[in-house]
Structure 1
Amino acid sequence: MAKIQFSRGLDEVVIPEVRLTRSRTGDSGTATFIFTNPKILDQGSTEDITGMYLSDEEGEIITREVKAKFVNGKPEALEALYVMKSAQEWDRFMRFMERYAEENDLGLSKAEK
Structure 2
Amino acid sequence: MSDVTPSIEFFVGIAEELSNVRLRRSKQTGIRNVLMIFENLKSLERFRSYTTQTYGDLRLIDSEGEISVTPSSLKIIWGGDEGDELKEVRCGFEIEKDEHWDRFMRFMERYAEANGMAYQDSQ
* 1:46 matched residue in structure 2: 46
2:10 to 6, 12, 15: 6
Per-residue deviation, 1:68: 1.7
2:34 to 31, 35, 54: 31
Per-residue deviation, 1:26: 9.3
- Report the aligned-residue RMSD: 2.3
Q: Between Structure 1 and Structure 2, how many residues are aligned?
A: 108
Taking structure 1 as the reference length, what is the TM-score of the superposition? 0.79
User: What SS does the corresponding residue of 1:51 show, helix, strand or coil?
Assistant: strand
CA pair 70-64 structure 1, distance change in 2 beyond 3 A: farther
2:76 to 56, 68, 74: 68
Per-residue deviation, 1:39: 2.1
Give the number of the structure whose alpha-carbon radius of gyration is greater: 2
Provide the identity percentage: 32
Taking structure 2 as the reference length, what is the TM-score of the superposition? 0.73
Residue type of the alignment partner of 1:105: G
Render the CA deviation track for 1:53-85: whole Å, top value 9, x for unaligned.
Answer: 111122222233233223314443211112111
